[in-house]
Amino acid sequence: MGGTFDPVHHGHLVAASEVASLFELDEVVFVPTGEPWQKADRQVSHAEDRYLMTVIATASNPRFSVSRVDVDRGTTTYTIDTLTDLHRQRPDAQLFFITGADALAQIVGWRDTERLFDLAHFVGVTRPGYQLASADLPADRVSLVEIPALAISSTDCRDRVRRGMPVWYLVPDGVVQYIEKRGLYRDGVPATPPGQ
Ligand code: ATP
Ligand code: MG
């Protein structure tokens, strides 16, 4: 499951858990993006902050892990590169790419669509406010699943922190505390990444 995860929230975690259960997945790998090209219009938190929040949020689930492939590549993240790297690391694994209704709608605009579908089976999950549709996508390579509706977005979480509103129960407790500790989403991105 790729994402900016700025911050990771319970919508992401429920999507991952539901798809893992429905498709009997051995593992869900969360892959925070490097420099996200879709979000060039706003300042994105340091990759290391987003990576650490994702680690904190997933630590208690033995089937969840976090990959650094996109963070370490250090350039704009394209899903084709993410899947190519994951396939190289796990050559025998059958890969599924989990995506929300909004992101799935953009798939046809992604690079190398044909190769994407060779590398992974795509699972589109419902998301409040978005229409889940797979028109123009190959039916044997894309599944659509309905999951419990959580109207949570990272954008809203960031706005809430900025306005001094709580994000308790929208994001895992450890992520609330990490946001506070690092002063994320208050006024601009912290001058330095964590640990420096
Ligand atoms: P932002 O508001 O910054 O875009 P976001 O909440 O959309 O953040 P992303 O990191 O952009 O989170 O999303 C990662 C993946 O998780 C995407 O495929 C997105 O569609 C999916 N996703 C995010 N929130 C939900 C949700 N509440 N329900 C289902 N899927 C979700
Ligand atoms: Mg998004």
State ipTM.
Answer: 0.99
Q: Give the Cβ contact number of residue 34 at 10 Å.
A: 22
Q: 42 pLDDT exceeds 90?
A: no
Question: pLDDT tier at 160 (50, 70, 90 boundaries)?
Answer: very high
pLDDT of the residue at 30: 98
Q: How far is the CA of 15 from the centre of ligand 2 (A)?
A: 13
Q: How far is the CA of 170 from the centre of ligand 2 (A)?
A: 15
Position with higher pLDDT, 36 vs 77: 77
Q: What is the mean predicted confidence (pLDDT) over 32-42?
A: 71
DSSP state of 186: S
Q: What is the mean predicted confidence (pLDDT) over 177-187?
A: 96
Q: What is the mean predicted confidence (pLDDT) over 27-41?
A: 80
pLDDT cut 70: percent of the chain above it: 95
Q: 136 pLDDT exceeds 80?
A: no
pLDDT cut 90: percent of the chain above it: 79
Going along the chain from its start, the domains and CATH numbers come out as 2-151 (3.40.50.620)
Distance CA 62, CA 146 (A): 24
How would you class 141 by CB atoms within 10 Å of its CB: exposed for 0-12, middle for 13-18, buried for 19 or more?
middle
Q: Whose CA is nearest to atom 19 of ligand 1?
A: 100
